[in-house]
Structure 1
Amino acid sequence: MDDSELEKIRKARLEQLKAQGGGGGGGPKAGGPSGAGGQGGQEASRQQEAEARKAMLNQILMPEAADRLGRIRLVKEERATDIENRLMMLAQTGQLRSKVTEEQLKELLNAVADNKEAEKIVVTRRKGWGLDDDDDDLFDL
């Protein structure tokens, strides 16, 4: 009985690994018998999109630049995604001649940071807002 339970666990784990991208044949099998239909297909398409994005970034970035981008993602995921989108756009339009080095990535990060600073809104508040000399009477109780 223990062996059959272990075999079931192994099969379930194998199916899980196939669903996570273990191979080209694993995708349709994982989505078909789930019964959820739309959710399984959406998850599979999101996973395929993430894999395609990752593969494209591996082609665009040198290993050191990819490591730096990964560290940035840990701190600010939105910024990392923005940088990835810009890199992919540059690659698709043919503006990248070779793989992006860590120094080039730093330059791109600085350029994006400069744009963000220009977009900041500064709010200045006046001191003593709402208090006039006439209002002093209200506090003399």
Structure 2
Amino acid sequence: MEDSELDQIRKARLEQLKAQGGAKASSGGGGGGGGQEQQAQRQQQEDEARKSALNQILEPDAADRLGRIRLVKEQRATDIENRLIMLAQTGQLRQKVTETQLKELLNAMADNKEEEKIVVNRRKGWEEDDDDLLDL
């Protein structure tokens, strides 16, 4: 990734942080519907900055794959996007991420994430009581 692209990402993030700080300071005194509009506008700005950063980070094929993942599991796609943006901000990405690299990142994140397991503990003797009732 070029230095100019990293600078653009950093500037977008700085503007995003400034907007968040300004919105918090200005929303402290008033009340009512204006706060919701500011929050919606801030969310829209964050989304635009995020999309811009991802466009600079991802090759088109990788962006398409991430879009397909978002259709199925939105939280997983958001986690991947956050990871990619963090890697770009820390300067760990040297070039645009390819689809193959995105697959590797997906596999790495899937391996790290523990799957939830449901454990069912059955009481012993429960079924025996039921059998006694049915024989009556």
Same fold? TM cut 0.5 = yes
User: Percent identical across equivalent pairs?
Assistant: 71
Q: Which residue of 2 aligns with 1:137?
A: 132
How far 1:65 sits from its partner (Å)? 0.6
How far 1:40 sits from its partner (Å)? 1.1
Q: Which residue of 2 aligns with 1:76?
A: 73
Q: TM-score, normalised on structure 2?
A: 0.68
Separation (CA, whole Å) in 1 of partners of 2:125 and 2:88: 52
Structure 2 letter corresponding to 1:73: R
Structure 1 letter corresponding to 2:104: E
Give the superposed CA RMSD: 2.3
Does residue 40 in structure 1 map to residue 37 in structure 2?
yes
Separation (CA, whole Å) in 2 of partners of 1:66 and 1:129: 56
Q: Give ranges in structure 1 of 5+ residues lacking alignment.
A: 1-34
Residue 122 to residue 90, structure 1, CA distance change in 2 (3 Å): same
Q: TM-score, normalised on structure 1?
A: 0.65
3-state SS, counterpart of residue 94 of structure 2: coil
Structure 1 letter corresponding to 2:59: M
Please tell me whether Structure 1 or Structure 2 has the larger radius of gyration of its CA atoms. 1
Residue 88 to residue 74, structure 1, CA distance change in 2 (3 Å): same
Separation (CA, whole Å) in 2 of partners of 1:41 and 1:54: 20
Separation (CA, whole Å) in 2 of partners of 1:96 and 1:43: 31
Q: Give ranges in structure 2 of 5+ residues lacking alignment.
A: 1-31
Q: Which residue of 2 aligns with 1:110?
A: 107
- Provide the aligned length of Structure 1 versus Structure 2: 105
Q: Which residue of 1 aligns with 2:85?
A: 88
Q: Which residue of 1 aligns with 2:117?
A: 121
